[in-house]
Structure 1
């Protein structure tokens, strides 16, 4: 995620709930670094970004078999509210209390807080992919035209997660809300399919994409 390359950015956002994510997505494309990673569900868009620069060099697209979630799910609030946490270290149980106070409706989903803690560990450790809202508050034309989905990264944990996933221990996990991490599947590339594009084919591909209306002006509106 771009925030890992520019740690000077202040991510905090005054919005909350579903709109908070949309503001983050807007910032991702127009303002500053975020903990989001861009993907597209359109092979033509992927080809454009692979071929539009460094024409003399080979390029590649990377395919990840990962189904994005509906953006209205509760986990959006759970993950994105991390940007507003003031502490550098916080326990899962402490973060749960922040969320429950801000979003009382979360209580309807869990009979016991320990079950909530367990889900929090899962969401915050790995992250997840989401689609753009069906009825967005903000018009993010880049996401729409690029047919994008966004991966919300998980965060660093100071505790050994594998030993602390059960409901008995989950709340005691210590996480670092401002240290997002890409999942192992992306960081190591073990779950990605790499398709190499020879440099000699780039101009041909770009011409074909232009005929389909896939251009810089269309995909990167100001």
Structure 2
């Protein structure tokens, strides 16, 4: 159930009032629903931006996704020695600003509010309003969940191979938009022989999970609980959405959003001060030298 209610807040107190109302709804729904759900938040400094992972923001980036991912891992192999899965490597790339198919979200509404209140100047040299997006979704995925593994390895397919994969799925199922694809035994035997399917499953080493992976749908969003082996992710209570095909972006922006909260540009500075009073600032959300540097610059 997606409410798509929109609100505007001008202070931290206004924001917390809405969050408190959401929590009451969550508690009521949990008592009626067997699915475990949680609220996830994302703050953007410009209210008009589409919710879109960085790799999808420019066509030339998306077209070169395979090159960006592979080159990053090959050139900086030692940087990824601790990461067990490709998803965890994508998280690290995202951390350092390399474009990926991941979208940062958080279970902390205050973290999202902090990011929504960052300064952003429009093309017309005007301050822009910010936005906090809220999702209320079941969470069940981890870096080694089969569907997450396969979606991560989409980043290792060239653009023409991704297009071929879409064509193959349309050939067998008529559409890539179905949330659940009905696989018959005969269909499955033919499907797993398709060249692009062989390559994707060999990359992901997920051959035995193929029916479950396809049934789960590559055209859905997964909420993934990452390994908190990074101080920033831990401090920000970070989770990630991972997308399959880019067609999911419309669903991400319209059909899954629970609520939007707009922050007027004129209120951003004061809300950031209020957040600082309760210990939410660059220093606590970025517990490293970069965060300390930014905190000092902002304060003095």
User: Normalization by structure 2: what TM-score?
Assistant: 0.53
> Quick check: 1:3 aligned with 2:55?
yes
Q: CA deviation at 1:21?
A: 0.8
- 2 CA distance for matches of 1:2 and 1:182? 14
Q: CA deviation at 1:186?
A: 2.2
Q: CA deviation at 1:54?
A: 4.1
Q: CA deviation at 1:2?
A: 0.5
User: Which of 228, 244, 251 is the aligned partner of 1:154?
Assistant: 244
User: Which of 207, 220, 223 is the aligned partner of 1:129?
Assistant: 223
Cα distance per residue 1:3-34 (max 9 Å; x no partner): 11241452234679952111101111204100
Unaligned runs of 5+ in 1: 156-179
Residues 104, 20 of structure 1: alpha-carbon distance in 2 compared, 3 angstrom cutoff: closer
Q: CA deviation at 1:82?
A: 1.5
Cα distance per residue 1:105-153 (max 9 Å; x no partner): 752x5xxx6x34xx425331113111112xx5xx332222111111111
Q: Is the CA contact (8 Å cut-off) linking 1:3 and 1:35 kept in structure 2? A: yes
Q: Which residue of 1 aligns with 2:88?
A: 22
- 1 CA distance for matches of 2:155 and 2:262? 36
Cα distance per residue 1:192-219 (max 9 Å; x no partner): 4111223443233212211222112332
User: Which of 218, 232, 235 is the aligned partner of 1:145?
Assistant: 235
> Quick check: 1:59 aligned with 2:130?
yes
- 1 CA distance for matches of 2:130 and 2:202? 48
User: Normalization by structure 1: what TM-score?
Assistant: 0.69
Q: Which residue of 2 aligns with 1:188?
A: 254
Residues 99, 60 of structure 1: alpha-carbon distance in 2 compared, 3 angstrom cutoff: closer
Aligned ranges 1:1-222 → 2 under 5 Å: 1-6=53-58, 7=61, 8-9=64-65, 10-12=68-70, 13=73, 18-54=84-120, 57-71=128-142, 72-86=144-158, 88=161, 89-90=164-165, 91=168, 93=192, 94=194, 95-98=196-199, 100-101=201-202, 107=208, 115-116=211-212, 119-120=213-214, 122-133=216-227, 139-155=229-245, 180-188=246-254, 191-220=257-286, 221=288, 222=290
RMSD over aligned Cα, in angstroms?
Answer: 3.1
- 2 CA distance for matches of 1:50 and 1:60? 5
Question: Which structure is higher in strand share?
Answer: 1
Residues 183, 4 of structure 1: alpha-carbon distance in 2 compared, 3 angstrom cutoff: closer
Q: Is the CA contact (8 Å cut-off) linking 2:153 and 2:204 kept in structure 1? A: no
- 2 CA distance for matches of 1:50 and 1:194? 11
Q: Is the CA contact (8 Å cut-off) linking 2:111 and 2:280 kept in structure 1? A: yes
Unaligned runs of 5+ in 2: 1-52, 75-79, 122-126, 170-191, 291-300
Question: Which structure is higher in helix share?
Answer: 2
Number of residues of Structure 1 aligned to a counterpart in Structure 2:
187
Q: Secondary structure at the match of 2:88?
A: helix
